[in-house]
Chains A and B, each alone.
Chain A
Amino acid sequence: MILSKISHFGFVLIFGLVLLVLAVLPFFVDLYYQTFLIELFVWVLFAISFDLIFGYTGLLSFGQALFFGLGSYTVTIFVRKFGFNTELSLFLSIVIPILFAWFVGYFSVKLTGIHFAIITIIFAMIGNIIGETWTSFTGGSDGLTFSPPPFRLGLLSVDMMDIKSNYYFVLAIVAISYLFLRRIVQSPLGKVFISIRENEERVQLIGYNVQRYKLVAFIIAGGLSGLAGGLYSLTLKYAGASYLHWSVSGHAVVYTVVGGMGTLIGPALGAGIIMSLEHYLIDILQTTDLVAGIVLVFMILVAPKGLVGYIQSMLKKGETSA
């Protein structure tokens, strides 16, 4: 009881500290670095949404790129082609992927394991092909650029063209999303997700409609992936068909596994580490996937619970031996 109060307090403390550091950072680093950080925040969001379905619920989906791409295109197309304002477009970048996730998920959760993974890839492939060929609408592989007007909510107005404002905007949304997800995984609903991952048969036997819960997880993850895509496009002022390719989902897999699946903080950490590594190495090696691939293989073999899991087990060992 006391332990959980301490860990809760500990979380608040650490989260607050991290937020503080990130909030202050723009005064000390240049715009290029700020843009990098914004991208990092977006991928953190994508990674933690993946963690919900994979780390917590045990669903390995390589198709999350579909929702990321959808969110990204929603914002871009609604602003550029339909003249919607940024607020509504960003909101839709959550809603439309949710609708698609409902559809895709409804069918996909009837399957498990590799079949589930494959069907999610197939849906993503369909999205990718449509994105690449419906060039009049999506701009194909060249994609679409656009200039989003300021985001307005009540008295708040965020100029999306100003990198610093953009930075705080994305940071705030991602932070709120993180807290939202954290609350979900700690709620009774989250407990069901975790149980599904641990023993799907037993969960069903004690009365839970497993498919329905998987679908809920899938929809939440889809919505948040869409939000990530929307934020990504708002930042880069661009959406492209490549965002819909299933290999984009691979990034989420790498960050989550490396950081530690089923922890939320793990994928965030994983995204941070891998992206920073790639950022610094790209000048030397001109490569990103090589690092990601090697680290992934290494982690799976040596520390399958990821960095966070490794640290947790070290702490446990310290506890028992003390």
Chain B
Amino acid sequence: MPETNEIILELKEVNKSFGGLLAVNKVNLSLNKGELRALIGPNGAGKTTLLNLINGIFPVSGGQIFFKGKEITNLSPHRISHIGIARTLQITSLFSGSTVYENIWIAVQSRKRIYNPLVHASKRKDVKDKTEYMLELIGLKEKAQTVSSELSYGDQRILEIGVALSTEPELLLLDEPTAGLSTEESVILVKKVQGMIAGKTIILVEHDMGVVMGLAERITVLNYGEIIAEGTPQEIKDNEEVRKIYLGT
């Protein structure tokens, strides 16, 4: 989706320290609606921590976060989910004992408000229809009855994105979706995912430069918790400091 000029996410002077360790240092970030922003940086740069701060998993040590103009700093994760931000994790986090169908179901159900405890879950047609739609979208309809822990790793990563998407987010935080995948598998995943995430605003944390260069509209580079560069993929490629950090990636 073409990037608009409407700012959807804003981070102002966001800090995070764990004890003595400053993990995120005075980060200022502006994200436009529809943008696909890649967040890159060496291990330990604070990328996942930054996502955790946006998501509400960690409270900030300083600074503010705004989503669609409203402050969301330090809100709890479940409230942030309802505000329209969804998250996938670096280490696959699914409902391991449940089937693919059930994983999507529970995510879809989260958007519905009224739960009559005496109604059989399968009677919720609204949830059922949306679930089947999502399964179709992420391409896992045939594997719907497979227990999620028995899926291939690549499929699990896709399911995780599917679960996040089922919560109807406007902003999707993807934390290393290709982590643990081979290059071919990454390519496949990206192909599958590109259709799924169309229209959403995305922050993509990634190590795989091929994926980043291929997908990102803008890139933010993090090192030691600070933003050291920000720009288009070409600008970042040409950036001396970034090159230094990545030593010729």
Q: Does B93 contact A (CB under 8 A)?
A: yes
Q: Does B97 contact A (CB under 8 A)?
A: yes
A207: which B residues are within 8 A, CB to CB? 78, 81-82, 110-111, 167
B94: which A residues are within 8 A, CB to CB? 199, 202
Complex Cα spacing A60 to B107, Å = 25
Pair A190/B121 contact, Cβ less than 8 Å? yes
B98: which A residues are within 8 A, CB to CB? 194-195, 198
A195: which B residues are within 8 A, CB to CB? 95, 98, 106
Q: Does B195 contact A (CB under 8 A)?
A: no
**B196 nearest CB across to chain A (Å):** 16
**B192 nearest CB across to chain A (Å):** 21
Pair B118/A206 contact, Cβ less than 8 Å? no
Residue from the list A186, A209, A210 in contact with B120, Cβ < 8 A: A186
Q: Does B208 contact A (CB under 8 A)?
A: no
Q: Which residue in chain B gives the minimum CB-CB distance to A8? A: B120
Complex Cα spacing A97 to B194, Å = 52
Q: Does B21 contact A (CB under 8 A)?
A: no
Complex Cα spacing A88 to B81, Å = 44
**B170 nearest CB across to chain A (Å):** 13
Pair B95/A208 contact, Cβ less than 8 Å? no
Q: Does B25 contact A (CB under 8 A)?
A: no
Chain B's interface: helix, strand, loop or mixed, by majority?
loop
Q: Which residue in chain A gives the minimum CB-CB distance to B81? A: A207
Q: Does A192 contact B (CB under 8 A)?
A: yes
Pair B118/A184 contact, Cβ less than 8 Å? yes
Pair B106/A205 contact, Cβ less than 8 Å? no
Pair B109/A191 contact, Cβ less than 8 Å? yes
Residue from the list A4, A203, A205 in contact with B122, Cβ < 8 A: A4
Q: Which residue in chain B gives the minimum CB-CB distance to A202? A: B93
**Quick one: which of A194-252 are within 8 Å of B by CB?**
194-195, 198-199, 201-210
Complex Cα spacing A199 to B57, Å = 15
Q: Does A152 contact B (CB under 8 A)?
A: no
**Quick one: which of A7-26 are within 8 Å of B by CB?**
none
Residue from the list A187, A194, A205, A209 in contact with B119, Cβ < 8 A: A187
User: How big is chain B's contact interface, by range?
Assistant: 35 or more
Pair A187/B167 contact, Cβ less than 8 Å? no
Complex Cα spacing A122 to B42, Å = 47
Q: Does A188 contact B (CB under 8 A)?
A: yes
Q: Which residue in chain A gives the minimum CB-CB distance to B124? A: A188
Given the interface contacts A189-B115, A191-B105, A191-B106, does A205 sit within 8 Å of B121 by beta carbon? no
Q: Which residue in chain A gives the minimum CB-CB distance to B116? A: A187
Q: Which residue in chain A gives the minimum CB-CB distance to B160? A: A202
Pair A198/B96 contact, Cβ less than 8 Å? yes
**A217 nearest CB across to chain B (Å):** 11
Complex Cα spacing A257 to B107, Å = 29
Complex Cα spacing A189 to B124, Å = 12
Q: Does A115 contact B (CB under 8 A)?
A: no
B77: which A residues are within 8 A, CB to CB? 204-205
Pair A187/B121 contact, Cβ less than 8 Å? yes
Complex Cα spacing A317 to B117, Å = 33
**Quick one: which of B113-149 are within 8 Å of A by CB?**
115-122, 124, 127
- 29 A-B contacts (beta carbon < 8 Å): A180-B118, A184-B118, A186-B121, A187-B120, A187-B121, A188-B115, A188-B121, A188-B124, A188-B127, A191-B106, A191-B121, A192-B115, A195-B95, A198-B97, A199-B96, A202-B93, A202-B95, A202-B163, A203-B106, A204-B78, A205-B55, A205-B57, A206-B166, A207-B81, A207-B82, A207-B110, A209-B76, A209-B78, A210-B78
* In the complex, the 4 A-B pairs of residues with the closest C-beta atoms, listed nearest first: A207-B81, A207-B110, A198-B95, A188-B115
8 further A-B contacts with Cβ under 8 Å, apart from A186-B121, A189-B115, A192-B109, are: A183-B117, A187-B119, A188-B121, A198-B95, A202-B95, A203-B106, A207-B81, A207-B167
